[in-house]
Amino acid sequence: MKRLAVLLLIVVCSPLIFWVAMRGRHRVKPSEEIPEIPHRPTTLASPTNVGRQLLVGDNGPGPRPIRYAYIMPEDQQRRVLREAPKLMVGDTVDLVVEKLGPPFDDRVGYGPKGSNSPKRHRRLLYYFAKRDFELVNEYDPNIHLFFDEKDRIEAIASEIADIPSVNWPPAPGR
């Protein structure tokens, strides 16, 4: 009976002890705010400004026709298809955004201490279409542009037939 009481006390109190220990750890203090990213595009592609027709092939599995939550506007699709193959290693973020328009996503990678570490790389992502906003999907037609710490193109990973990948996949150890 005594063992049952101790076991019950442990089962009941463990979540409470965990909650007390973790309370407040998820809050961002004003001194820990994420610093502003230099040269960040002022706007990202709006998920509400969508196109009607996908101008590139989609090789992903699934039933046809594919239903998309987002399609890049047709004028930007044409612009990306025309300008992306001309991009070269060493081009700047500003030049890329000027040529291709606003990206769907802009991510910055920092060192092991998060935003308090120096910036290591940056990635702009241009989705031609996206099946779902909540799920990561390897089949959505897109291009990733990887930049070094000086915001210059280091590699291009393309899922689009008319846009070649450059320096992709990266060499081991990068």
Q: What is the pLDDT of residues 93-149, one digit of tens each?
A: 999 999 999 999 888 877 676 666 666 788 999 999 988 888 777 789 999 999 988
Report the candidate in 73, 80, 76, 67 with the shortest Cα–Cα distance to residue 159: 80
Rounded to two decimals, the pTM is 0.70
Give the CATH fold of the 3-158 domain: Beta-lactamase Inhibitory Protein; Chain:B, domain 1 (3.30.1450)
3-state secondary structure of 127: strand
Domain range annotation of the chain: 3-158
Backbone angles phi, psi at 121, to 5 degrees: -160, 175
Q: What is the DSSP string of 73-102?
A: -HHHHHHHHHHGGG--TT-BHHHHHHHH-S
Rounded to a whole number of angstroms, the distance between the first and last alpha carbons of the chain is 60
Average per-residue pLDDT in the chain? 79
